[in-house]
Amino acid sequence: MLKRLPNLPDIVSVYAVIASMLFTWSMLLFFWYLPSWLHFMTLGDLIPVFCYVMASSFFESLAFLLLLLFLAFALPSNYLRDEFVARGASIALCVIGLIMLRFRMHDVSMIKIFFLGNGIGLVLTAVIVSLLATKINLVRRALISLSDRLIVFLYILIPLSLFSLLVIIIRNII
C-alpha cells in the first residue's frame, strides 16, 4: 500500500513549494491590511490574528499536500508518483498561482477566461503543465531545483505554525 506513495524527501520538497506559496500569500495579505488595523487594534489583538493566519495557512498547505498524495495514490505510478517532485511542484505552482491571480483580478471577463465553468480551465491548465513538466528537461530540472531550495523555508514556517497553533490553543482555553 505504501509503495503507491512517493518517497518522504519528495513529499517534503513538494510541501516546501506549497507552503512557501501559501504562507507568502497569507503574510502578504496580513501585512497589506496591517496599517489599517493599527488604527483600532492593539499589539495584543494583532498577535492572535497573525497566529490565526499562520495556522490557517498551515492547514491549507497540508490539505493541498494531502490532495496531491491522494492523486499519487489513485493515479498510475508512472504519472505522478515516479515524478512527484516535478509534477507535484508544477501542479502546486499552477493551481495556487492561478488562484492567487484570480483574487488579484478585477476584470470579470478575464476571470471567466481563466476559470471556465467552476474550475475546468484550472484543472486543464494544471494537467497540461504537469505533463509538460517532465517532457521538457530544463523545466523538470528547474522545478526540482526550486523545490529543493524552498525546503530552507520549512525551518521557519513549521515552527511558526506550531507556535501559532499553541497560541491559538492557549488563547481559546483561557
* Rounded Cα distance, 85 and 89, in Å: 6
Determine the pLDDT at residue 46.
92
Q: Could you tell me if 102 and 111 are in contact, meaning their C-beta atoms sit under 8 angstroms apart?
A: yes
Residue 16 pLDDT greater than 90, yes or no: yes
* Rounded Cα distance, 14 and 51, in Å: 24
Residue 86 pLDDT greater than 60, yes or no: yes
Lowest mean pLDDT of 83-87, 122-126, 127-131, 170-174, name the range. Answer: 122-126
Residue 101 pLDDT greater than 80, yes or no: no
Residues in the chain: 174
Average model confidence (pLDDT) for the chain?
86
* Average of per-residue pLDDT across 86-90: 89
**57-61-65 Cα angle (round to 5):** 170
Determine the pLDDT at residue 9.
92
Q: What is the pLDDT of residues 32-78, one digit of tens each?
A: 999 999 999 998 899 999 999 999 999 999 999 999 999 888 888 77
Write out the three cell numbers for 47. Answer: 498577535
* Rounded Cα distance, 109 and 112, in Å: 5
